[in-house]
């Protein structure tokens, strides 16, 4: 009822000389207000393309994106402006997303300028408050991004993302480039900011243990599609999709599920090319449980008990 973001059958292919890379190939989900939905999967599964398509950094090929009940799939640049104010993005590499020639003050003032918020004195004050909220000293405002460590730079990128008090922040691998000790600090910062402001996160990571720490629900992607989406507790108790089970077997869990499930599973071979994904179930070439039907029929993402959805012929076939 009344989700913040609703995505239906979203498709985004990248056209290359070798053919169309089916990066996002029919993805549907919703995010509630203040919720964190994690997206996990191997690199190349389409997570980043999904995030960028939701931001309209890529134009979707098909499907619908609704934000606060409004269809924003095909809005023009000007109509998108109020939406952009409410949907921000944080990237893996803060250095790449922060203009190196600008001071922190300029970087953090820009969102207010673009949206015509406040006068010079007011913006100064807002920048000071933003720096404090992300754990940086107000004196840092006159420095440039290169004068900061990776973790501090990510704090600046976060400050910029939350400047306009967005309803949704898309975090694409926000801690993957950082040392493990710094990762925890940044994740804790993101969680605190969420508690303070009630914003929702779409949190993308290849690292299931990171996603498990922040997410309320988790979507598992494989070759451009969601294969399982479930509340974190349900997924932790029992991953249902064979691919999810493999992902789970590879990480040290804080509270491990049953011993049987802790046996280390490994995947056969490399992921197939997203240019020519296998027919039928896309996971069948690597699935330890593949049956003849899996090579012919793509399993639909179906509701099963516990508020979860799974796309596998073995699951929910009552
Ligand atoms: Fe494995 Fe078949 Fe399920 Fe695909 S549908 S995950 S191949 S059992
Ligand atoms: Mg990526």
Gap between the Cα atoms of 62 and 307, Å rounded: 27
Which residues are paired to 219 by β-bridges?
39, 229
Strands ordered across the beta sheet of 308-310: 87-90, 168-172, 200-205, 36-40, 217-222, 225-231, 308-310, 302-304
Confidence bin at 264 (pLDDT 50/70/90): low
The secondary element (H helix, E strand) that includes residue 117 is: none
Once rounded to an integer, what is the mean pLDDT over residues 280-302? 96
Assess whether the C-beta atom of 239 lies below 6 angstroms from ligand 1: no
Assess whether the C-beta atom of 84 lies below 6 angstroms from ligand 1: no
Please state, rounded to an integer, the average pLDDT across all residues of the chain: 92
Confidence bin at 260 (pLDDT 50/70/90): very low
Record the pTM.
0.93
Ligand 2 centroid – CA 92 distance (Å): 8
Nearest CA to 227 out of 50, 73, 27 is that of 27
Once rounded to an integer, what is the mean pLDDT over residues 59-80? 94
Largest CA distance in the chain: 68
Enter the DSSP assignment of 157. Answer: H
Q: What percent of the chain has pLDDT over 90?
A: 83
Assess whether the C-beta atom of 289 lies below 6 angstroms from ligand 1: yes
Least confident of 90-104, 117-131, 257-271: 257-271
Assess whether the C-beta atom of 242 lies below 6 angstroms from ligand 1: yes
Gap between the Cα atoms of 212 and 221, Å rounded: 15
Q: How does pLDDT run across 171-222, given as a tens digit for each residue?
A: 999 999 999 999 999 999 999 999 999 999 999 999 998 999 999 999 999 9
Ligand 1 centroid – CA 251 distance (Å): 22
Of the CATH numbers 3.30.450.20, 3.40.109.10, 3.30.930.10, 3.40.50.300, which one belongs to the domain with range 5-101+144-310? Answer: 3.40.50.300
Ligand 2 centroid – CA 181 distance (Å): 22
Structure tokens at 186: 């940044």
Q: What are phi and psi of 287, to 5 degrees?
A: -85, 130
Ligand 1 centroid – CA 239 distance (Å): 14
Give residue 269's pLDDT.
77
Q: Name the residue with higher pLDDT: 36 or 267.
A: 36
Q: pLDDT at residue 121 above 90? A: yes
Give residue 253's pLDDT.
53
Whether residue 182 contacts residue 18, with contact meaning beta carbons closer than 8 Å, is answered with no
Domain boundaries, the chain: 5-101+144-310
Give residue 268's pLDDT.
74
Confidence bin at 318 (pLDDT 50/70/90): very low
Enter the DSSP assignment of 198. Answer: -
Q: pLDDT at residue 223 above 90? A: yes
* ipTM score: 0.96
In sequence order, which ranges of the chain are alpha helices (DSSP H)? Answer: 47-54, 77-86, 94-97, 104-114, 120-133, 150-162, 180-197, 208-214, 232-237, 242-249, 259-262, 292-296
């Amino acid at each position: 009822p009344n989700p913040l973001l609703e995505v239906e059958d979203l498709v985004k292919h990248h056209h290359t000389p070798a053919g169309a890379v089916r990066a996002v190939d029919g993805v549907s989900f919703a995010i509630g207000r203040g919720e964190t939905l994690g997206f996990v999967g191997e690199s190349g599964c389409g997570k980043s393309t999904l995030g960028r398509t939701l931001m309209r950094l890529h134009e979707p090929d098909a499907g619908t994106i609704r934000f606060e009940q409004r269809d924003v799939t095909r809005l023009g640049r000007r109509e998108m402006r109020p939406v952009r104010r409410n949907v921000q993005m944080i990237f893996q590499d803060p250095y790449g997303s922060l203009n190196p020639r600008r001071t922190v003050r300029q970087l953090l003032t820009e969102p207010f300028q673009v949206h015509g918020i406040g006068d010079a004195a007011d913006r100064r004050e807002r920048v000071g408050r933003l720096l404090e909220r992300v754990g940086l000293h107000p004196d840092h405002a006159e420095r440039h991004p290169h004068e900061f460590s990776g973790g501090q730079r990510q704090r600046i990128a976060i400050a910029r993302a939350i400047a306009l008090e967005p309803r949704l922040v898309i975090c694409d691998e926000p801690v993957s480039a950082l040392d493990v000790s710094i990762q925890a600090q940044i994740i804790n910062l993101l969680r605190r900011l969420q508690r303070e402001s009630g914003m929702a996160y779409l949190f993308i990571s290849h690292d299931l243990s990171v996603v498990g720490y922040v997410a309320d629900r988790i979507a598992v992607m494989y070759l451009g599609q969601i294969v399982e989406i479930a509340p974190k507790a349900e997924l932790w108790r029992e991953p249902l999709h064979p691919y999810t089970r493999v992902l789970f077997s590879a990480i040290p869990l804080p509270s491990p599920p049953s011993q049987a499930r802790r046996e280390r599973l490994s995947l056969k071979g490399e992921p197939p090319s997203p240019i020519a994904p296998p027919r039928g179930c896309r996971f069948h070439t690597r699935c330890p449980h593949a049956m003849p039907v899996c090579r012919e029929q793509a399993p639909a993402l179906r509701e099963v008990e516990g508020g979860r959805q799974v796309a596998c012929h073995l699951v929910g076939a009552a």
